[in-house]
Amino acid sequence: MNANDLLSIVHDFESPIYVYDSEKIVSQYKRLTNAFKKVKQLRIHYAVKALSNISILKLLHAQGSAMDTVSIQEVMLALKAGVPADQIIFTPNGVSMKEIEHAMELGVQINIDNLSVLEQFGTKHPNTPVCIRINPHVMAGGNTNISVGHIDSKFGISIHQMPLLLRIVENTGMHINGIHMHTGSDILDVGVFLYAAEILFEQAKHFDRLEFIDFGSGFKVPYKEGDIETDIEELEEQLGERFNDFCASYGRDLTLAFEPGKFLVSEAGYFLTKVNVVKQTTSTVFAQVDSGFNHLIRPMLYGSQHEIENISNPSGKKRFYSVVGYICETDTFANNRMITEINEGDILAFRNAGAYCFSMASNYNSRYRPAEVLWHEGKAYLIRKREQFSDLIAHQVELDFAEASLKPA
Ligand SMILES: *Cc1c(COP(=O)(O)O)cnc(C)c1O
């Protein structure tokens, strides 16, 4: 899709708006599955939390994708999208036993990431197959908020607690059918991934009823030209063969699973905003758009740098701008960026807006969350309506202070 397609979408559906290019999502999915062709059984679980619109889930499921979920609501969404329960893995962190049992009743694959729940679950449901999430303590990822492998991370069962884990499995007689890791986001180095994978292979030998090994995700995608991305093809070259060798020594073909979120949807997304005000101060030129961190929090939350283009004036002279929002709190999208000359009313397109953008949007400042559009085979399809005032107050309960019972005594 090109800038004119994006402009026509703003014309038809207004701004701010999220747009996703289905072709890019499908091509990323195929890139991953093609790379791992040599692995006999491959399963891609799309990480629903990255972008959870039901039409996106359906699009990915139509390509053959399974789903990775982290809440019971995501499980329900995936089921609603028509994904069979046995193609959904539930990988929560710190949720109640009740929520895990609910997922079990719905028939999804349970993944347990702490010893306390493992023991409770194994005691009550020894025959339900369970996957265990291991923390191999391999540091990966650029930002401490999204890197989950470090020693004081809350994720997974520490590799150092394996003896305890094995004792629980033995005492309860529970059925471990999968072993999992997810070392964090933005893995730059395939070597780090492989190192963690070796730790997983080593631990996998303790379990004789495994059906799959899930290597999680954390694949890095480029944000601008020249950015390093995870080299999927190189990863396959090294991990694919190693996995096949492991299966041979294990004595059975296992399924190799991944759980990409960002890799599948990040680059497919555009966030389109309109410039309300161009404000010149003594030091800076601000372009203030009709949005804020209520709609796209990543730059403020973990410093992510989304490329921003002025698609209304693509050949204008480049100048420095700070792109900010309308929230009554600092909401800087970009600091002193070179962007082609911006006039009030221009449309700015934010790139890499597919993953963790709409799914983290809120109603802060009592603003409506944006609409979402899927660009599919040359046509724009509205896949989420823009909110309106009735949505803002739908669940609020209004008290009437004129009523006798609420009047001060
Ligand atoms: C968030 C998450 C993912 C997806 O990570 P990306 O960096 O978006 O690919 C995969 N698995 C689990 C368990 C997660 O929590």
Which DSSP string corresponds to 51-84?
Answer: ---HHHHHHHHHTT-EEEESSHHHHHHHHHTT--
Unique residue bearing structure tokens 């003896």:
163
The confidence score (pLDDT) of residue 407 equals 82
Q: SS3 of 397, please?
A: coil
What are the structure tokens assigned to 207, written together?
Answer: 């379990």
Helix H or strand E encompassing 323: strand 318-324
Count of residues for the chain? 409
Asked whether residue 384 carries a pLDDT value surpassing 80, the answer given is: yes
DSSP string, 291-313: --TTT--HHHHH-----EEETTS
What are the structure tokens assigned to 278, written together?
Answer: 């161009």
What confidence tier does 366 reach under pLDDT thresholds 50, 70, 90?
very high
The tens digit of pLDDT for each residue in 182-218 reads 876 566 678 888 888 999 999 999 999 999 999 999 8
The tens digit of pLDDT for each residue in 137-176 reads 876 555 454 455 666 778 899 999 999 999 999 999 999 9
**Are the CB atoms for 296 and 332 separated by under 8 Å?**
no
Q: Which of 131, 247, 328, 357 is catalytic?
A: 328
What confidence tier does 312 reach under pLDDT thresholds 50, 70, 90?
very high
pLDDT average, residue stretch 270-287: 97
- Range with lowest mean pLDDT among 10-14, 328-332, 373-377: 328-332
Write out the binding residues for substrate: 298, 302, 329, 356
The confidence score (pLDDT) of residue 409 equals 73
Distance, in Å, from the CA atom of 122 to the CA atom of 259, rounded to the nearest integer, reads 25
**Are the CB atoms for 218 and 140 separated by under 8 Å?**
yes
pLDDT average, residue stretch 316-324: 98
The confidence score (pLDDT) of residue 105 equals 98
Q: SS3 of 277, please?
A: strand
Q: How buried is residue 317: exposed, middle or buried, by Cβ count under 10 Å (0-12/13-18/19+)?
A: exposed
Distance, in Å, from the CA atom of 28 to the CA atom of 162, rounded to the nearest integer, reads 35
| Residue 328 known to be catalytic | yes
Q: Ligand 1 pocket check: which of 259, 265, 267, 298 to mutate, most ligand atoms within 8 Å of Cβ?
A: 259
Q: Whose CA is nearest to atom 4 of ligand 1?
A: 261
Neighbour tally for 389: CB within 10 Å: 9
Supply the mean pLDDT for the chain.
94
pLDDT average, residue stretch 33-57: 97
Asked whether residue 382 carries a pLDDT value surpassing 60, the answer given is: yes
pLDDT average, residue stretch 394-400: 96
The tens digit of pLDDT for each residue in 93-145 reads 999 999 999 999 999 999 999 999 999 999 999 999 999 999 988 765 554 54
Write out the binding residues: 218, 298, 302, 329, 356
The confidence score (pLDDT) of residue 186 equals 65
Q: Which domains does the chain have, with CATH numbers?
A: 22-260 (3.20.20.10), 269-381 (2.40.37.10)
Asked whether residue 385 carries a pLDDT value surpassing 70, the answer given is: yes
The confidence score (pLDDT) of residue 363 equals 97
The dihedral sign for the CA sequence 51, 267, 31, 194 = negative
pLDDT average, residue stretch 215-235: 89
Q: SS3 of 270, please?
A: strand
Distance, in Å, from the CA atom of 216 to the CA atom of 232, rounded to the nearest integer, reads 14
The confidence score (pLDDT) of residue 190 equals 82
Distance, in Å, from the CA atom of 90 to the CA atom of 66, rounded to the nearest integer, reads 11
Q: SS3 of 272, please?
A: strand
Q: Ligand 1 pocket check: which of 43, 49, 153 to mutate, most ligand atoms within 8 Å of Cβ?
A: 49
What are the structure tokens assigned to 72, written together?
Answer: 């019971």
What confidence tier does 408 reach under pLDDT thresholds 50, 70, 90?
confident
Q: What share of the chain is helix, strand, coil (3-state, %, to 5)?
A: 35, 25, 40
Asked whether residue 11 carries a pLDDT value surpassing 70, the answer given is: yes
**To the nearest whole percent, how much of the chain has pLDDT over 90?**
85
- Specify the ligand 1 atom closest to the Cα of 50: 8
pTM: 0.95
Q: Which residues line ligand 1 (CB under 6 A)?
A: 47, 49-50, 68, 70, 91, 182, 185, 216-219, 259-263, 355
